[in-house]
């Protein structure tokens, strides 16, 4: 642990950092799942979905940075390598052999939904640690993830 004058108890900072690193793995995984969809989408809705999936990637990249930097602010190390993320992510595996816009939208919606669920759990966990700053970060992420999910799901409803 690095020294910091943040007034949270050391144990709370350690637990919050562990929580942050757990969600960092999920965020990195989600970021790359969005890029996988962006690169591989095909079909009549290609252009719109290609751009939307890139937007999801960009937004989630911002979440990655927020989460990683908060862990460091609390005096710990951000554990954000691709290998660490692959080992720790609680998101489902993204299907590599899909191509249609609907299939990619469905797969990415599932990942966004799970990430949103884990973010909401993290709000409560950070609250139990009395770490309002970390809870606020996860509140922001939860709200943004719900908006991204809404945008992706709109493509699923349009084809129904």
The CATH number covering residue 79 comes to: 1.20.1260.10
Query: Can you give the pLDDT at residue 160?
Result: 47
Task: Confirm whether 2 is domain-assigned.
Answer: no
Q: Which structure tokens are listed for 159?
A: 């084809």
Cα gap 102→45, rounded to integer Å: 9
Taking a C-beta distance cutoff of 8 angstroms, is the pair 34, 57 a contact? yes
Please name every residue paired with 42 in a beta bridge, in sequence order, or none if there are none: 100
Task: Confirm whether 98 is domain-assigned.
Answer: yes
Task: Judge if pTM exceeds 0.85.
Answer: yes
Task: Confirm whether 74 is domain-assigned.
Answer: yes
Query: Can you give the pLDDT at residue 72?
Result: 97
**Mean per-residue pLDDT of the chain:** 96
Rounded percentage of the chain residues whose pLDDT exceeds 70: 98
Cα gap 126→159, rounded to integer Å: 39
How does DSSP classify residue 93?
P
Give me the phi and psi of 98, to 5 degrees please.
-95, 160
Query: Can you give the pLDDT at residue 158?
Result: 62
Cα gap 59→14, rounded to integer Å: 27
Task: Confirm whether 5 is domain-assigned.
Answer: no
Per-residue confidence band for 5, with pLDDT thresholds at 50, 70 and 90: confident
* Segment 75-104 mean pLDDT: 97
* Segment 140-158 mean pLDDT: 95
Residue 108 domain boundaries: 10-158
Q: Which structure tokens are listed for 146?
A: 């719900």
Task: Confirm whether 124 is domain-assigned.
Answer: yes
Task: Confirm whether 4 is domain-assigned.
Answer: no
Total number of domains constituting the chain: 1
Does pLDDT of 83 surpass 80?
Answer: yes
């Amino acid at each position: 642990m690095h020294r910091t004058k943040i007034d949270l108890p050391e144990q709370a900072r350690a637990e919050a950092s562990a929580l942050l690193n757990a969600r960092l793995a999920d965020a990195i995984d989600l970021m790359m799942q969005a890029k996988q969809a962006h690169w591989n989408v095909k079909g009549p809705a290609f252009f719109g979905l290609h751009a939307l999936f890139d937007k999801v990637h960009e937004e989630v990249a911002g979440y990655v940075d927020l989460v990683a930097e908060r862990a460091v602010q609390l005096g710990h190390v951000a554990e954000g390598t691709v290998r660490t993320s692959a080992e720790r992510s609680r998101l489902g595996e993204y299907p590599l052999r899909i191509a249609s816009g609907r299939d990619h939208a469905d797969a990415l919606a599932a990942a966004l939904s799970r990430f949103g669920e884990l973010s909401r759990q993290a709000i409560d966990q950070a609250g139990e640690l009395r770490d309002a700053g970390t809870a606020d970060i996860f509140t922001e992420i939860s709200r943004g993830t719900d908006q991204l999910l809404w945008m992706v799901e709109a493509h699923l409803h349009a084809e129904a």
